[in-house]
Structure 1
Amino acid sequence: MVSDFRKKKLLHVFTAFFDRNASGSIDKKDFDLAIENITKLRGWAAGDAKYKEVQSTLLKIWEGLQSRADADKDGEVSTDEWIAMWDEYAKNPSAPLEWQSLYSKFIFQLEDASGDGAIDGEEFSSVYASFGLNKDEALAAFRSMSKGKPNVSWAEFQELWKEYFTTEDPKAPGNFIFGKSSF
């Protein structure tokens, strides 16, 4: 059974980052919109190598998500299917599905706009602002996530990622990795 607190966190990711067309479910069209949004944010045109890399990665994430979470095989992932899949992850976060690991790495690389191996507050808040979240709230979330440090490394991010999907502690730093300062 997923607590109300964890359900709110899971639905935040579902709504803000996956269900891009606000249809109430996740399908391939949402990933096409995400590709468009992310490549526009970075200034990559359809023929660019980085555009193709983002497209390829996001389509692999979609395929993995659909094959694992789409229990009724209707081509869409409902909120119930999404929550059930992440609840399964929470039982053994040290053994994520391939697409979950790919998604974690993708998010880190997206946020690390400078490519220096760490995320800072400006990089973090700019990404979340491009997804429609409040930039000031994203900065507050970054300060909580980073515990006041100027940046977050990949190793730290991986631990924060696990924490986001598993913890029941509202004050845990991992709760802030998706740009929201409270649930």
Structure 2
Amino acid sequence: MAYSWDNRVSFVVRYLYDIDNNGYLDSHDFQCLALRSCILEGKGDCSAARLQKYQHIMLSLWEEITELADFDKNGVVSVDEFKQAVKSSCVGKKYQDFPQALKAFIEANFRMIDINEDGVMGVEEFRYDCIQRMVVEDVKSIDDAYNTLLNDDDRRKGGLTLARYQDLFAQFLSDQNDNCPANMLFGPLEQ
């Protein structure tokens, strides 16, 4: 059940977007995401230019989410509304068919994870990303999750490239199969 499509989409809301942990999405979450993204990518530095870039990305993402998911037009998006929107705009689709702002978020998320900026997410970067979001008791579970994502080409390249991460992120949201190949994209999930 932890890797069901429903739980994976709930994970995206809870651990990637709902920064203030109040159980729903609103503009405040995306303002905070912009600052978080700026600081993480800058490894502590928060330049005005980078912050402005992330404010644009996150504001665009929030506007797109509200357009797709705020069905009752109350200025907040519940988990159920978000799931319904993902189902209609992402399920069964490839990365290139995703909404533009979501693609921008995915690319920005990869840049934050790629700490050494070599264009490849290695196991150490994957560990760092996972441990920031959730409680994990054993590094082996994170390493095992990472290794399930890798194909032979990934291993030759030393990890996940941006293009591979985009494909996996798209699978994570679009594949409703509980045994989706991208189940472990964010590490071992809880139900």
TM bucket (normalised to shorter chain) is 0.7 to 0.9
Is it true that 1:140 corresponds to 2:144 in the alignment? yes
TM (norm. structure 1) is 0.83
Whether contact under 8 Å (1:141, 1:181) holds in the other structure is: no
Alpha-carbon RMSD across the aligned residues, in angstroms, is 2.4
After superposing on structure 2, the runs of 4+ consecutive aligned residues of structure 1 that deviate more than 6 Å are none
Q: 1:147 to 1:180 in 2, by over 3 A?
A: farther
Q: Who is 2:187 aligned against? A: 179
Whether contact under 8 Å (2:66, 2:77) holds in the other structure is: yes
Is it true that 1:35 corresponds to 2:34 in the alignment? yes
Deviations 1:149-170 (A, max 9, x none): 3301122222212211122444
Deviations 1:107-126 (A, max 9, x none): 22222222222211111221
Q: 1:39 to 1:140 in 2, by over 3 A?
A: farther
Q: Who is 1:117 aligned against? A: 119
Deviations 1:123-148 (A, max 9, x none): 12212322345382443322222248
Secondary structure of 1:177's aligned partner: coil
Give the counterpart letter for 1:79 in structure 2: V
For 1:57 and 1:40, the matched residues in 2 are separated by: 15
Secondary structure of 1:174's aligned partner: coil
Shift of 1:182: 6.6
Secondary structure of 1:176's aligned partner: coil
Whether contact under 8 Å (1:138, 1:181) holds in the other structure is: no
Is it true that 1:44 corresponds to 2:45 in the alignment? yes
Greater relative CO (CA pairs within 8 A, separation 6+): 2
Alignment length (residue pairs):
179
Give the counterpart letter for 2:119 in structure 1: G
Whether contact under 8 Å (1:163, 1:174) holds in the other structure is: yes
Task: Show structure 2 runs of 5+ residues with no match.
Answer: none
Whether contact under 8 Å (1:164, 1:175) holds in the other structure is: yes
1:103 to 102, 105, 109: 105
Shift of 1:12: 0.9
Secondary structure of 2:51's aligned partner: helix
Q: Who is 2:93 aligned against? A: 92
Secondary structure of 1:115's aligned partner: coil
For 1:91 and 1:127, the matched residues in 2 are separated by: 27
Shift of 1:81: 0.8
Shift of 1:90: 0.4
Whether contact under 8 Å (1:133, 1:179) holds in the other structure is: no
For 2:39 and 2:132, the matched residues in 1 are separated by: 9
Task: Show structure 1 runs of 5+ residues with no match.
Answer: none
Q: Who is 2:133 aligned against? A: 131
